[in-house]
Amino acid sequence: MMQMTTLTTLVAGFAALATAATIQISVGKDGIVYTPNSVTAAVGDVIEYQFFPPTHSVVMADFDSPCTPAKTGGFFSGAFTTSSGMNNTVFQVTVNSTDPIFFYCGFPTHCESGMVGVINPSTDQTLDAFQSKASSVANTVAPSAPFGGQIVAAGSSSATTGTASPSPTPTGNSGGGGLYSGPASSARALAIPLIGAVVVAVLMV
């Protein structure tokens, strides 16, 4: 009994360790945009927003209402004003489901001009549709204070393995459908033989 519990805990522990990934998104590094602006993430993964000059933020929105905070839940980084290079603090959000999560910059006019992004787009809820709807919004609205994530020192990832994706670049065309899934999938690929090895090792005892 005891051994079984230990085995289960071990396997679960290794699975969590090997699969949690940190996915980095640059905010304003390449102009008034997020880079990449479309990512795929698993439950438990951490999205890390890295801020560049001058002033930007990230707010979660509902698909139907771009440039306005989500009605329930969500997150807001607060406005980051960076003097030069990458800000020394980052905003981290944990992904709790694989449903699409849309976000935008809360700085006036940025959302309307296309500074939007998505985590796990679906065939019904695409970045193109969200962006196009955002372009006709009259006023970007930002919450008053940060919530829904953590502001931490850059480089101090709170993800278990911190499998940081090095300068992720969007794949596919600029149509907005490009998905990024680099280190997250390689971490997952690693997890399978790792778990297998643990099971074999325990069974042999």
Ligand X SMILES: *[C@@H]1O[C@H](CO)[C@@H](O)[C@H](O)[C@H]1NC(C)=O
- C-beta of 70 vs 105, nearer to Cu ion: 105
Among ligand X, Cu ion, none, residue 180 binds (CB under 5-8 Å by kind): none
Cis peptide before 121 (omega within 30 of 0): no
Q: Can residue 98 be called a binding residue for ligand X (CB under 6 A)? A: no
Which 175-204 positions form the footprint of ligand X (CB under 6 A)? none
Among ligand X, Cu ion, none, residue 38 binds (CB under 5-8 Å by kind): none
Q: Can residue 161 be called a binding residue for ligand X (CB under 6 A)? A: no
CA distance 16 to 21: 10
Name the residues that contact Cu ion, by CB under 5 A.
Answer: 56, 105, 107, 110, 115
- C-beta of 132 vs 181, nearer to ligand X: 181
DSSP characters over 80-109? EE-SSSS-SEEEEEE---SS-EEEE--STT
Q: Can residue 94 be called a binding residue for ligand X (CB under 6 A)? A: yes
Stretch binding ligand X (CB under 6 A), from 36-44, 88-96, 135-143, 168-176: 88-96
| Burial of 24 (C-beta count, 10 Å sphere; 0-12/13-18/19+) | buried
- Alpha helices by DSSP H, listed for the chain, are 2-19, 127-134, 183-204
User: Which of 83, 136, 173, 174 touches ligand X by CB under 6 A?
Assistant: 83
CA distance 62 to 58: 13
Q: How many CA atoms lie within 13 A of 85 on its CB side?
A: 3
Q: Which residues bind ligand X (CB under 6 A)?
A: 73-75, 80-83, 87-89, 93-96, 101, 148
